[in-house]
A = this chain, B = another copy of it.
Amino acid sequence: MTPYSCMTTEELNTAYNQTKADFDTCIAKGLKLNMARGKPSKKQLDMVSDLLTVLSKPEDCFDGDIDARNYGELAGLPCAREYWADVLGCKAEQVFVGGAASLNMMFDVVSRAFTHGLLHSPRPWCKEEKVKFLCPAPGYDRHFAIGEFFGAELITVPMTPTGPDMDMVEELVKDPQVKMLWCVPKYSNPDGIIFSDETIQRFANLKPAAPDFALIWDNAYSIHEFFGDYVPFPDILELCEKAGNPDMVFEFASTSKITFAGGGISCMAASTANIDYFTGIFGVQMISYDKVNQLRHVRFLKNKAHTLEIMKGHASLMAPKFRLVLDMLDEEIAPLGFANWNKPSGGYFISLNTMNGTAKRALELCKQAGVIMTKAGATFPYGIDPNDSNIRIAPSLPPLDELKQAMEVFCTCIKLAALEKLLNK
């Protein structure tokens, strides 16, 4: 195959006609496939079914002498705090255990910052003239949405192969209106990048002008390798503490992609001063998150070592899907030279950059052919990709045969959109 950039107009027209015919064939199939979200597949959910019955009798429901079924233990069952400390490499007293969604706890941190301020805030953020959030992009649309919801100005920071552009981050945090940075440090969403040790250390060493600058460290994929072995990852809490920034970081994690996406547990890890501060606030908000489910998870997942065993099971289901997507892209798209993509070994996504100015059109074509993808632009603040190029592929949900069909449609559509552009169609 010749790269599009080396084709004559005639060759491009031939390619266009062939691709258009392929597209029409796709349409005719009347598919209904979904790769919009990083949802676990049914097989992954079935794999952890023992979670359902691990607590079956009253006497199973105790953590020491604490009855998980009753009120109390606002910050979580001691065993659940220890579990998360083990997984994240921090201390149990730095952990506040949450409900099904870590996103809700991130939202709550931002919400409290706006209504009451964080631990070192001179005033609630709603009283500030302006509040700015740094958003490494491509990134996670739900992170951006929270900032936008509270009226923060979202500033895009480009991603590099080692993480966010730290020169830019270090410069931007000199602005006292910059109050927050959101990131996914391991297998970043969607790029699948693991932040380098240097990047992580530079985060810990940040000298923000705002005394209440908060680093949102969404460690959603901390143990989510699908190719190869578990990659150790430093404890950001300790690094921040050593760098004299103990209260700067809020780390989050959940079992959404370990057990049940619709019924897991989550956690916030932060300095004990922050945990104390937020425990005071959560004490107004609720009595406790679901402790029965906390205990159910600890009994089933046991500890980090055993959880990593379970993650091997997820990997065995995820790896063939990522392999398929990467192979198809290598075969069908790489020779044409108009797109590039990452090759992650963990996380839930493949981030693809197609020809500038064609991502929206390509996904519109996908939709016409019955394949739903994450909305173009979603990986950028305000949903606007300045290059209209980035597309997030989420291969986890469909079974392999459906994934293959969906990727055939996808490859056809990004080709067709590129050819339309090259030929001004």
Task: Give the interface of A toward B (CB within 8 A).
Answer: 37, 39-40, 42, 45-46, 49, 52-53, 55-58, 60-61, 67-73, 99-101, 103-104, 107, 111, 114-116, 126, 142, 145-146, 149-150, 256, 260-264, 281, 284-293
* Cα A116 to Cα B150 with chains together (Å): 8
CA gap between A44 and B70 in the complex, in Å: 10
Within the complex, what minimum Cβ distance (angstroms) separates A394 from chain B? Answer: 11
In the complex, chain B residues whose CB is within 8 Å of the CB of A150: 115
Q: Are B107 and A284 in contact (CB under 8 A)?
A: yes
Contact A261:B293 (CB < 8 A) given known A46-B58, A103-B287, A286-B103: no
Which of A52, A111, A281: most chain B CB closer than 10 A?
A: A52
**Known A57-B52, A103-B285, A111-B115; contact A39-B70, beta-carbon cutoff 8 A:** yes
Find chain B residues with CB under 8 A from A289 CB: 99-101
Cα of A46 to Cα of B67 in the assembled complex, Å: 11
Counted per complex, copies of this chain come to: 2
**Contact between A261 and B69, CB atoms less than 8 A apart:** yes
Question: A291–B256 Cα gap in the complex (Å)?
Answer: 12
Shortest A7–chain B CB gap in Å is: 42
What would be 8 A-B contacts, judged by CB atoms less than 8 Å apart?
A45-B61, A69-B262, A71-B262, A103-B285, A115-B126, A262-B287, A262-B288, A263-B291
Q: Which chain B residues lie closer than 8 Å to A69 at the CB level? A: 45, 260-263
> Shortest beta-carbon distance, A280 to chain B, in Å?
10
A285 proximity list for chain B (CB < 8 A): 103-104, 107, 146
Q: Are the CB atoms of B71 and A39 closer together than 8 Å?
A: yes
Looking at the assembled complex, report how far the CB atom of A60 sits from the nearest CB atom of chain B, in whole angstroms.
Answer: 8
Interface residue from B263, B286, B293 paired with A107 (Cβ < 8 Å)? B286
Q: Are B263 and A99 in contact (CB under 8 A)?
A: no
Q: Which of chain B's residues have a CB closer than 8 A to the CB of A290?
A: 99-100, 262-264, 290, 293
A107 to B261, CA, bound (A): 25
User: What is the CB-to-nearest-CB distance from A40 to chain B, in angstroms, rounded to a whole number?
Assistant: 7
Nearest-neighbor residue (CB-CB) of A295 within chain B = B263
CB distance from A59 to the nearest CB of B (A): 9
Q: Tell me which of B45, B104, B149, B292 contacts A263 (CB under 8 A).
A: B292
In the bound assembly, the distance between CA atoms of A116 and B126 in angstroms comes to 11
Indicate which residue in B67, B149, B262, B281 contacts A292 across the interface (CB closer than 8 Å). B262
Q: Which chain B residues border A99 with CB–CB below 8 Å?
A: 99-100, 289-290
Cβ of A33 to closest chain B Cβ, rounded Å:
16
